[in-house]
Structures are given as C-alpha cells and as structure tokens.
Structure 1
Amino acid sequence: MKIKSIYFTILLLTAAFLGGCNTSPSNKTDQTVNKNDDNTLTIFTTIYPIEDFTKKIGGKHVEVKSVYPAGADAHTFEPTMRTMMDIADADFIIFNGAGLEPFIDKTKSSLSKEKVTMIEASNGVELLSGHDDHDHEHDEADHDDDKADHDDHDHAEVGHDDHHHDKDPHIWLDPINAIKMAENIKDALTEAMPSAKDDFEKNFQEVKQKLEQLDQELQKTVEAADHKEILVSHASYGYWEHRYGLKQISISGLSPENEPSQKQLQTIIETAKEHNIAYIIYDQNPVTKVADVVKKETRTTPVTLHNLEYITENDLKNNEDYFSIMNKNLDTLKKILSK
C-alpha cells in the first residue's frame, strides 16, 4: 500500500484530532518542494546543520527543504500529513538519526516502500551513550533516597512519546562528527547524480576545511579556559565534553522535556555554587521555569549558546548559517570560560 493511501486513511479516521494540529497556513513546510528539472535532486532534511550542509555541498544540483519550520523542537516535532506525502515523492529525506526525530522512527517502514531514499547522516559517527538523565554526582545516600522519585520521573518521561535517548543525538556540535555527516551527504548525492561528482567533492572539501578550522578554534578556546564547567539549560554539549574536556552541568536532559527531580535540582544548584559559575546557558529553546529557578538561586547571568537543532526567525532574517552561528558560540564560550 502506498504511503499516500495509508495517510489518507489515517486522516479519515482521525480527522477530528488532526483538524487542530499543524494546519497553520504560515507553516512553510506544508508547501510542496517543486522540482526544477530532471537535473535537480529534491531533498527534505530535518535539523538545520543537515539542511545547511546539503545546500552547500549540493549547490545548483539540489533543491532543499527543511521539514522543520523555524523554531521547531526536533525532539517532539511531527510533520503534517501533506508534508509526509511530499517527502514520499522526494528523492531524499536526510535525517540525523540516533533517535532524535520521533517521526522518522514511526514512519521508516512506510517510507521505505516509497520513491524517497532515506539517508541517516549520523551513520558511521561514534555515538556517546545517552540515558536522557542528568549527569550530576550523587553520593550513595542521595541515590537511594531519591530512587523512587527518580524512577517515577523516568517512567513519566517514557510515557511522553518515549523521549528517552539511548544515544546522545547532538553530534553536529562536534565539527569532527559534522565532517562525517557532510561526507555521508556528499556520498549520497554522488551516488544519485554521478555526473555532478566533481562539484559535490569540491563543495564538500570547502565545508570540511571550515569544520577543521572550527575544531581547532574550539580546542584552543577550551585549552585557554580558566575553568571547564558550564551550567546549561539543556544537555546538548556532551560531545564538547568528550572532544574538548568541558564539563556540562545540565538542568534538563538530552530532551528538553526531561527535567530534574527536586533532589537533582538541589544538587545542580549546589554544584554551580561550588564552582563559582557566573553564567547560565540557554539555547534557542524557550526558557523553562526550572531553569529560571536555577538562575535565581545561583544568581547567574543568562547567555545563549545556539545548539543548531533549528534556526529562529531572526537567524533567517540575518542570513545565518552553521558557521556564523558556531563562531558566535565560540565568542560566548570565550566569555563564560574566563574568570
């Protein structure tokens, strides 16, 4: 059965529910991606780095459309039925993987029967373990006292669209991992359009060179830091920990919905005070109430690190790309890692 028929049936069965979901006429992802000609690959992407890399590597040979509108949360976003039918008719859907995009896992078997080729950009990247939990040190007494509360918290999260992550999906913030993602994109484009192989390779090498330079800048910034601890609202920076030696003290887990228990929250506040942390880092997601509590209790100054899961309307207006945003992140890191 074709995916259009499947989704049309679902639409009939659930019309009352879907009538109020994702139907805004301003949602640009509802628009069909139009093919220019037979020499253009029609591609849908998920998170912003994949969209940006695909445009840079594909150049004139691709027409790229993000599934996500500006401001969408990659952990929870569900595309409309119209968008899913457009994806089914495209040449590629390039996604991050590592459990980041719930709708991909839900529709993978159906999409495999369609024209579209599915490309997992994280393929070949060594993924860090992700328990969707808070990486804060507890002594055994705290652990035992809090076990029931923590288990209830985990149980509630699993029931919320299973937003636990077995692996940390935020691979694109590590430029070395981003090189592998870009290479996977380049290889997929080359296989689909061998005639443009030289263009794809040239464009990929330019992206790779910029990513290598970014990696060197991140290394220098962390090596020169007065301290390595950062207080973050969302545990997006595990790969910076692994590659460069930063230590993130996270308020929410790998998914922003995974908030700490009361005992964990107290530990976060105490740890931040112990390290005399002056800044609390928000990403471009809306500030949560619990992060605001930590800000007040620790008397920290809010700053922004852009995790690039999505871009904002202001990013679009300012013509930002992966590298301009990451360079701003570097400037912020230099500020918050100094005494």
Structure 2
Amino acid sequence: MRLVQTVVTFLLIGIFVVGCSAKEASNSNEDSELTIYTSIYPFQFAVEQIAGDTVTVNTVYPPGADAHTYEPTSQDMIELSESDAFIYLGAGMEGFSENIASTLDSEDVKLIEMGQYDELFNGEKSHEEHDHHAVEDDHAQKVEIVGLSGHYHTGDSINLTAKIEESIDYDHLHWFTLNPDDEEWVVVDGQTSDEFEGEAEVNGQQIKAELYGEDHEVVAKSEPITIEIDDHGDEEHSHEEGHDHDHGDEEHAHEEDHDHGHGEEEHAHGEGHNHDHEGEQSDRPIEIDGVLGHYHTGDAINLTARIEESIDYDHLHWFILNPEEEEWIVVDGQTSDEFEGEAEVNDQQIKVELYGKDHEVVGESEPVTIEIDDHEGDYNPHFWIDPLRMIQAADIIKDELIKMNPEQEEMYNENFEELKEQLTDLDDQYLDVLSTKENKAIIVSHAAFGYWEERYGINQININGLSSAEEPSQKQLIEIINQSKEHNIDYVLFEQNSSNRLSEVVRKEIEAEPLTIHNLSVLTEEDIDQGEDYISLMEYNLEILDQITK
C-alpha cells in the first residue's frame, strides 16, 4: 500500500513517466546499514567518503543528465520511497527535488534539504550549534574585510576594517599586500590593528589580514580583496588643477528653494537653519567611499566621506532617504566623516552634507544606494565548486549520518576529517595556481562558476544564466562577444553534461578553441568508467584553468 500511494501521488503532481533511467555508479553494498539517494553528485561523493560501506548511496540523475532540466521517472520514485534518506538541494533551486520531497513527505524517508543552510551560499555560519569553521583550519573564513570601494582613483585613501568573529582566539594580526607582478605577499609595516589605512597606487593590488596566536601560528585569515583603480581617463574624471567637475544643470539642479525637506523636527540646528544652498560648491568636493556591490540584510554599512582639503566647513551630517519616502532624514549621532549603519532597507540612499559656522550648506555628496540581496530564490546553487563550501556541506551531511546511524559516529568523524584535509589541500592547489594569474577571464556556457570569482578571482563571462535554460538576448550576446575580445580570450568552455548552441556561436565569432570544464553536478558514463570522483575532476578543472588564464 505504501508503494502504491507513493506512485499515485507522484503521478498526480504532474511529473510524467519517461522510462527507466540508468544510475551512476554507487557505493552499493548488500550488507550496508542505510540506503540513501541524492540529487547532485557532490552530495553522493560526501556520503561515500564519510559513510563508506555502511551506506549504499545513489544519485537520482542518470549519467550526463542536465541537472537543470531533469525530471525523475516512476521507477526513480519507487526506489526513493524504499530508501532511508534523500539528500537534495531544494530551496527553490531544484524544482524536481521539491516535487520528490513533497511526494515522499508521507513516507518513512528522511528528507535533508541542503539549500536551507545559508552558509553554503553566502559563507556565513548558521548550522545551529555546529562550527563549520574550526580554528585549526587555516582557511576558515572568520575574518571578513569590509570598507572596500567599487573602485578608487590613483592616490585615494583606502580604509578597510577586518571584521573578526568574536569566537576566535588570537594574539595579534598583520595586514599583507600582493601586487599583480609579485609572487610573495608583503607584510604592511606598522599596521597591526583591525583598521587598515593605505593609498590606492597599484591597480589589481590584493590585500588580506591574517590572525596569529601567541605561538605566531596563523589561526585565521581573510579572503584577499582587490583594489581596482579607475581614473576614468581625461574625458571622464580629470583630476587636473582646479578639479573642474561641471555636471551641468540637468545633473545637479539646485532650485532656489532647495531645502532638502529636512524640516525643523528632523534637523533642528536653531533658528534660521534652513539648508539654503546659496553658498554650496557645485563641483561636488565630497565623495562617499566604502559602499559594497550589495549587502545582506543585517550587514554592517561602513562608509567614509572623502572631503577635499580645499573646502572650508565647520561640521557635517549624514542623511538617509528610504524608497517610499520623500524627505531626507538626518542620522542622529553621526557627525564625523565615518558612517556606521546596518543594511535594513533595500535601495536606501545615503548622503553627507557639510555646513559652515552659519549653518549654511557648503557642500554635499552624491547619494549612494544600498542594495540588499539576500539571494532568496536566487542563490547561485553551484556552491560545490568551492572546496571550502564542500567542507561545510560534508560537515552537515556527516551530522545527519550520525543521527541516522549513531553507532558509527567515531568512524564518520574520522572519515570527515580525512575528507576535510583533502578538500583543504585542493583549495591550496587552486590558490597556488590562480594567485599568480593576471588575466583570469573565462567564458563559460552558463553561470555555474561564480564561487570561483569570489574565492580565486576568476572573471566569469557567462553566456547563459544560472540555469542553462536562461538564454541571453541579442544585445547581451553582442556584449559577451565584445567582452571576450577585450579580454583576449582564446577558449570557450563547454560543460560535460550539456551542449550549448550559443556557446558555439560565440566560439566561432571570436575564433576560439573549445574546451570542456566539469560542473560536477553529475558524472558522465566516461567519468564512471574511468573511476573519476570529485577530487580528480576538480584537479582536472584546475588544469584547464591553468591553461586558459594568463
């Protein structure tokens, strides 16, 4: 009866029978204690490495299937209903998996939805009481650098802050820089606090912070951030004598009654303080540095007002304007050139105004916009291409395996530590190879490799979107071709489990050679026959990246 109910429910939710499918190679053992199914291959790999012969594990994908378009068969559902657990991505990223989970909800099958763990996608720790960033892991990201501007002009001040988790125990820290043509990181003399101050001099310079224990061993370090210098050229941003930024009336229309709508209740500096801008300098002598490309809700906002030395002012105030409001509101208690806040409202604008002793406005910045992207329903699902995120995923899976089979806790923990070491070594290999590259632009068939951008500085030019079904418009396709030419790209990367018509169009247009990169979502028949696994395929990918980057 249990089996009949499962099949009937499966048919009712509209997933059609398309015939039986072959399974990828599995860790099959008649004496195993558990039977587990997974969606993507990396989950299967983690189970195999941690549980060994105590589990029979299969993936629902046939060899070489496109994970974005695959639909399970009725036979798949029958087998799943008889298993002990189903590990899947979910969270809006695998439509078929959520259908499966819904169907199996009434069955005695443990459902493990990996997509609910935000730290796999944004790097934050949220797996309940479990610490997936153990201090002994040199690469644990307990240090985050904030304050990076989108770009700098030559000579601009660089003001960064190392945001350090309270749980980490360290004795002191050092800042390091790495210039594009250098191979060795250089310690920054005299900077041992969590605040970094420098000057933008070298485009592409990387900066990182490392924390040390009393024995001078590294206990944690940040991801490197990159300083991008864009002086815009003479026609865009001339820093010549006089600093003439003529924006024209259409850009900065300061009407005669331009009072910014602060109102007496919002910004009461006494009688007569009406924010009259008659004395305001129109050449924008103030710029706001430190705004990030996007924030997550609750992230710290750290901004700096960069004020020209020539401007004479007495005090300043910061203001915010929320999207649904018409009037700017003064930020209480923030009267220095440093702004500290919290990301709470998407598209909130922030600006700073300078005042003379007579409370007249003598200058104001352009507003900056705070963009909040919590990735809800729009996560990049391909976290498994980052070895450190794979450690986090494996840790979660290990904990679930222990709950299901507590008698094997010691073995599972030991096997996890071995896997963690392998994945950390793999990350080291990627860092060693890619840190020496200057041109890391690659063109790929779809946006599966964004975590390489974040971790290793790869510049992914993707033809399709996060799903292989998200095709670009004609205009976007032209832009992709232009970008490829600008970056002198010699290769177009195809993936092991899908053909891409538009990738071939781009390849021919830029006269590039085709190569295959492995997205690891599924194994092919050839992978299985040759005994490939996550580690060997990631090492293959690194060889490809080494070949095509410069």
User: What TM-score do the two structures reach when normalised by structure 1?
Assistant: 0.81
Match of 1:81 in 2: 74
Deviations 1:156-196 (A, max 9, x none): xxxxxxxx961110010001110011111111111111110
Structure 1 residue 213: deviation in Å? 0.8
Give 1:287 shift: 2.4
Task: Check if 1:116 corresponds to 2:109.
Answer: yes
More strand by share: 2
Partner residue, 1:257:
469
Deviation of 1:209 (Å): 0.4
Letter in 2 for 1:127: F
Partner of 1:23: 19
Cα 1:333–1:234 change in 2 (3 A) is same
The code of the aligned residue for 1:241 comes to E
**1:229 alignment counterpart:** 441
C-alpha distance after superposition, 1:272-295 (max 9, x if no partner): 001111111111133221111100
Matching residue's letter, 1:235: A
CA RMSD between the two structures: 2.7
Amino acid at match of 2:430: L
Aligned counterpart in structure 1 of residue 456 of structure 2, from 234, 244, 252? 244
1:5 maps onto 2:19 in alignment:
no
What pairs up with 1:104-143 in 2 under 5 angstroms? 104-122=97-115, 123-127=117-121
> Match of 2:412?
200
- The separation in 2 between residues aligned to 1:208 and 1:287, in whole angstroms, is 33
DSSP 3-state at the match of 2:119: coil
For residues 120 and 252 of structure 1, what CA distance do their matches in structure 2 show? 26
Q: Which amino acid aligns with 2:104?
A: L
* Code of the aligned partner of 2:485: K
| Contact 1:219-1:244 within 8 A present in 2 as well | yes
Task: Check whether the contact 1:173–1:240 (CA below 8 A) recurs between aligned residues.
Answer: yes
Alpha-carbon distance, 1:2 to partner: 5.5
Identity %: 40
Q: Which residue of 2 aligns with 1:323?
A: 535
**Measured at CA, do residues 179 and 36 of structure 1 come closer, stay the same or move farther in structure 2, by a change above 3 Å?**
same
Match among 298, 302, 311 for residue 514 of structure 2: 302
Aligned residue type for 1:36: E
CA–CA distance in structure 2, aligned partners of residues 167 and 12 of structure 1: 29
Selected match of 1:100 from 71, 81, 93: 93
1: CA distance between counterparts of 2:9 and 2:107? Answer: 17
Deviation for aligned residue 1:126: 4.2
With a CA cutoff of 8 Å and minimum separation of 6, indicate the structure with the bigger relative contact order: 1
C-alpha separation between the residues in 2 aligned to 1:188 and 1:9?
27
Q: Which moved more, 1:193-202 or 1:79-88?
A: 79-88
State the 1:98 CA deviation: 4.3
Please report how far the alpha carbon of residue 120 of structure 1 lies from its aligned counterpart in structure 2 after TM superposition: 2.2
Q: Distance in 2 between matches of 1:207 and 1:34?
A: 20
Aligned residue in 2 for 1:211:
423
Q: Which amino acid aligns with 1:203?
A: N
Amino acid at match of 1:217: Q
Displacement, 1:333? 0.7
Number of aligned residue pairs: give it.
Answer: 297
Counterpart CA distance in 2 for 1:9 and 1:116 is 15
- Deviation of 1:35 after TM superposition, in Å, equals 7.9
Q: Amino acid of the residue matched to residue 30 of structure 2?
A: N
Aligned twin of 2:63 = 70
| Equivalent residues of 1:234, 1:254 under 8 A apart | yes
8 A Cα contact 2:494 2:514, kept in partner: yes
Select the residue among 328, 333, 336 that pairs with 2:545: 333
Contact 1:3–1:114 at 8 Å: present in 2 too? no
Q: Distance in 2 between matches of 1:254 and 1:117?
A: 28
Q: 1:42 maps to what in 2?
A: 35
Out of 91-100 and 65-74, give the one that drifted further: 91-100
Work out whether residues 42 and 63 of structure 1, in 8 Å CA contact, stay in contact via their aligned partners in 2.
yes
Given that residues 63 and 525 in structure 2 are in contact (C-alpha distance below 8 angstroms), is that contact kept between their aligned partners in structure 1? yes
Task: Report the alpha carbon displacement of residue 269 of structure 1 after superposing the two structures with TM.
Answer: 0.2
What is the Cα deviation at residue 125 of structure 1?
A: 2.4
Asked whether the 8 Å contact 1:35–1:42 carries over to 2, the reply is: no
**Structure 1 position 203, deviation (Å):** 0.8
Change (3 A) 1:10 1:240: closer
One-letter amino acid of the structure 1 residue matched with residue 543 of structure 2: D
Asked whether 1:286 is paired with 2:286, we answer no
Q: Deviations over 1:278-320 (max 9, x none)?
A: 1111111332211111001111111111010111110011000
Task: State the SS of the aligned residue for 1:28.
Answer: coil
Q: Tell me the distance in 2 between the aligned counterparts of 1:284 and 1:76.
A: 15
Larger radius of gyration: 2
In 2 relative to 1, CA 109–10 (structure 1 residues): closer, same or farther, beyond 3 Å? closer
Deviation by residue 1:223-252 (Cα, 9 ceiling, x = unmatched) = 111312111111110111111211100001
Q: Contact conserved, 2:66 with 2:498, CA < 8 A, in 1?
A: no
Q: TM-score with structure 2 length normalisation? A: 0.51
Extract unaligned runs of 5+ from structure 1. Answer: 130-163
How far has the Cα of 1:97 moved from its partner?
3.1
In structure 1, what residue type is equivalent to 2:64?
G
Q: Secondary structure at the match of 1:190?
A: helix
1:280 alignment partner, SS class: strand
Correspondence for 1:171 among 340, 365, 383: 383
Return structure 1 stretches of 4+ with deviation > 6 angstroms: none
Residue 481 of structure 2 corresponds to residue 269 of structure 1: yes
Give, in whole Å, the separation in 2 of the partners of 1:173 and 1:34. Answer: 25
The aligned counterpart of 1:153 is none
The answer to whether the 8 A contact 2:497-2:522 is kept is: no
Counterpart amino acid of 1:5?
Q
Q: In proportion to residue count, which structure has more helix?
A: 1
